[in-house]
Amino acid sequence: MYNVTEQFEKLKGRDDIVVLGIESSCDETAAAVYGGGKILSDVVASQVDIHKRFGGVVPEIASRNHMAALPDIVDEALKKAGIGLNDVDAIGVTYGAGLIGALLVGVSSAKALAYAANKPLVKVNHIQAHICANYIEHKDLKPPFLALVASGGHTSIVEVKGYNEYNLVGSTTDDAIGEAFDKVARLLGLSYPGGPNIDRLSKGGRNVIEFVRKKQVDGERISYSGLKTAVVNYIHNCEQRKESYDIADVCASFTAAAVDPLVEMVVKDIKKFKADKLVVAGGVASNSYLREKMRFAGKEHGFEVIMPSPVYCTDNAAMVAVRAALSAREGKNLAGLDLNPTGSLSIGGEE
Ligand code: KG4
Ligand code: ZN
């Protein structure tokens, strides 16, 4: 009989909870162990090379590869941490947002492990986990603060009131910023994932092409779909006129057009909420231009800017384990074996 309520209760208030974290929401199969305030292991198997030839993530292929890779990844994470499954206090797993088939693999595996070892299962919201990646390297970081999540699926400003309290403050109107990077990269013939390639090429380019910034900002909300269309139109116009264009300049100009209004939006909210700290998270938080611009805005407007190292910006299970430990410490987010993943989970936890 699987009954872990009492065990879970005993974790309340503890800072030394040992958690096995599992992440499979997109194309990274990952497992990590967090304990005593430290990451004890962090294993990520990226499927990027498999999906590259399709120009993006193919959901069914992602699910199948998670299925094949996860058992070994979990084993490796436990081994590297120097512990066995019986030594963990809880198992944390991403249950949304993400690709539903991919999430099902991680959640089913986590359930099987929780049942077999009789351990509490903690459900983890992927977007909240991205924010929690910041606690790994910034030991003094404590809520409240404002967070910017810039990933392939989300561009959100979040008010983090406590370790388990997340309120959405603002987001973009349509596409997420990472999605825009990937779509523009594809248009330019760059391989998947486009973000890091655009970042690399931008360094040799100039911000000289104006991609209609005013139309892009709808009130306070940014339309990345509009920006992508502006890049498409620019390239088509060049082709029609049989003019060449400089890819590096397109990359640098697109990056500035994507990041600058986002920085403006963040500064507005920092002032509105009288926040003194901005925490940046998600895959696009590893973008060098965005990092530089955010740091500069912090200096100019007097707020502290906190960002993870690039390795903790993109998908990983260390952030999942940390998020789960913070839930368990406050007796929150215990899941039953009937846990069902949700593709479109919001930052606050609603579908
Ligand atoms: O957070 P993440 O790993 O997965 C999601 O939860 O979506 O974010 C992936 C996104 C992709 O769109 C990828 O192109 C983008 O992050 N990305 C970058 C960079 N590194 C990753 N975008 C711009 N510059 C980068 N250096
Ligand atoms: Zn992510």
Q: Quick one: 204 and 166 in the same domain?
A: yes
- Look-up: residue for tokens 């941490």? 81
Closest CA to 265 of 280, 254, 250, 253: 280
Residue 146 belongs to domain spanning? 142-307
- CA-nearest residue for atom 7, ligand 1, is 152
With beta carbons less than 8 A apart as the criterion, state whether 254 and 231 touch: yes
Range 300-313 average pLDDT = 97
In a domain, 346, yes or no: no
The H or E element that residue 137 is part of is helix 126-137
The H or E element that residue 316 is part of is none
- DSSP one-letter code for 86: G
Which residues contact residue 200 at a Cβ distance below 8 angstroms, ignoring those fewer than 6 apart?
A: none
pLDDT of residue 171: 87
Using one digit for the tens of pLDDT, what is the confidence trace for 168-185? 998 888 899 999 999 999
User: What's the whole-model pTM score?
Assistant: 0.96
How far is the centre of ligand 1, averaged over its atoms, from the C-alpha of 177 (Å)? 9
Q: Quick one: 117 and 10 in the same domain?
A: yes
The number of the ligand 1 atom at minimal distance from the alpha carbon of 25 is 6
Q: Quick one: 201 and 215 in the same domain?
A: yes
The binding-site residues of ligand 1, defined as CB within 6 angstroms of any ligand atom, are 26, 130, 151-153, 178, 181-182, 193-196, 199, 282-284, 286-287, 314-315
pLDDT of residue 218: 52
CATH value at residue 170 = 3.30.420.40
Using one digit for the tens of pLDDT, what is the confidence trace for 240-288? 999 999 999 999 999 999 999 999 999 999 999 999 999 999 999 999 9
How far is the centre of ligand 1, averaged over its atoms, from the C-alpha of 135 (Å)? 20
Assign residue 96 a region (left: φ > 0; alpha: ψ between -120 and 50; beta: otherwise).
left
Number of domains in the chain: 2
Q: Which ligand is nearest to the CA of 193?
A: 1
Question: Which amino acid is it at 295?
Answer: R
